[in-house]
Amino acid sequence: MTICPCCGFKFHGALSSGCKQCGARAVGEPLPRPAYELPSYGRALLLSLSGALVVLVFVAQTLAAMFQRGTGWTEFWVWVGAAETAAWRLKWISLPVMFVVLWFGGKIYRSIRNQPERFCGLTYARSGLVASATVGCLIALLIGVTVPARLQQRELAKEATIRARYYTVEAALTEYRQRYHTYPADFKDLRDRVPDTYGTLAEALNELDASGYRPYGDFAAVGAERSQNLRGAVVRPSSLSPAPEDIQPGGLTFTKFELRMSGEDKILGNDDDWIGRDGMLMRWSDVAQGAAGRSVSAGALQP
């Protein structure tokens, strides 16, 4: 089987008689191999370029983060913060790519070291491989160092969301009480009677469990426009308080409320719940620990 070097056609016979496809024929015997062949720089150049490219990408992302900050060009920790930002931006792209580069680069480096007669530039290949490994380890280190701070920021963001939701509902409850001199019996009454121009109240109520809302208060009079829906209400009797002038006697008014909100698991009744009462929002676990501490203190004071 002969392969024509001109057109690549395969045929049986000698090339000296001509290619059956293009007609090319050999004009002499093949040239002998040279007595001395120069080693190749190709593999070393490939490793050097890959290492330089990895370093260049990381430095470019760090500089971009510094430009976004705008200040602190002479401060060391500002540069560290910019490098951390660059590491988080590159984590899903650079780390897998660098692992592949290191794996293939290791194989290429070993081939250069084991066959010095065919390949040269071992120093350049080693420099490129070390640069790739250094940037990869640096990105992994910066990500690992900032993981606790990132988790803390995530928890703070979740807490801020819960607090914003609570204060939105609390503002609507306060407006309801100013209008009708009592808190609503349930969320439906709050939706129907308090205007929600921008939809923030509806959005907050949709994220809450209606069973976590409990209004309570003193025995007193209720306004003429007070909703008669008292389902789920908790009444705590105490001393009678004078009714406002514009309230008709004969009903109940709620002067306080308690709002329990589910935590991250979205299930009401767990230790990660939040409870809002009297304008304060706390974790249920903190409330339970405070109650347990007061019980222990009261027991210790008994003779």
pLDDT tens digits for the chain (303 residues)? 777 878 878 878 777 777 878 888 777 776 777 777 788 889 999 999 999 999 999 999 999 999 988 877 888 888 888 999 999 888 888 778 778 888 888 899 999 999 888 888 889 999 999 998 899 889 989 888 888 888 888 888 888 999 999 999 999 999 999 999 899 998 998 999 999 888 999 999 998 888 899 998 754 444 444 444 544 444 444 433 334 434 433 456 788 899 999 887 788 888 888 988 877 888 887 776 665 555 444 444 344
- CB of 262 within 8 A of CB of 166? no
Residue 13, CA distances (Å) to 2, 10, 21, 124 in order = 6, 10, 13, 47
Q: What angle do CA 261, 264, 266 make, to 5 degrees?
A: 60
Intra-chain end-to-end CA distance of the chain, in Å: 110
- CB of 86 within 8 A of CB of 167? no
Q: How many residues does the chain have?
A: 303
User: 184 in helix, strand or coil?
Assistant: coil
CB count, 10 Å around CB of 92?
9
At 290 the pLDDT is 62
Block residue for tokens 């589910």:
262
Phi-psi category of 130—alpha, beta or left, where left has phi over 0 and alpha has psi -120 to 50? alpha
Euclidean distance between CA atoms 84 and 86, whole angstroms: 5
Q: Is 169 exposed, middle or buried (0-12, 13-18, 19+ CB in 10 A)?
A: buried
Euclidean distance between CA atoms 157 and 91, whole angstroms: 22
Per-position DSSP letters for 130-158, written without gaps between them: HHHHHHHHHHHHHHHHHHHHHHHHHHHHH
At 218 the pLDDT is 57
The tokens describing 33, both together, are 């191999």
Block residue for tokens 């439906």:
188
Euclidean distance between CA atoms 116 and 31, whole angstroms: 25
Euclidean distance between CA atoms 142 and 38, whole angstroms: 43
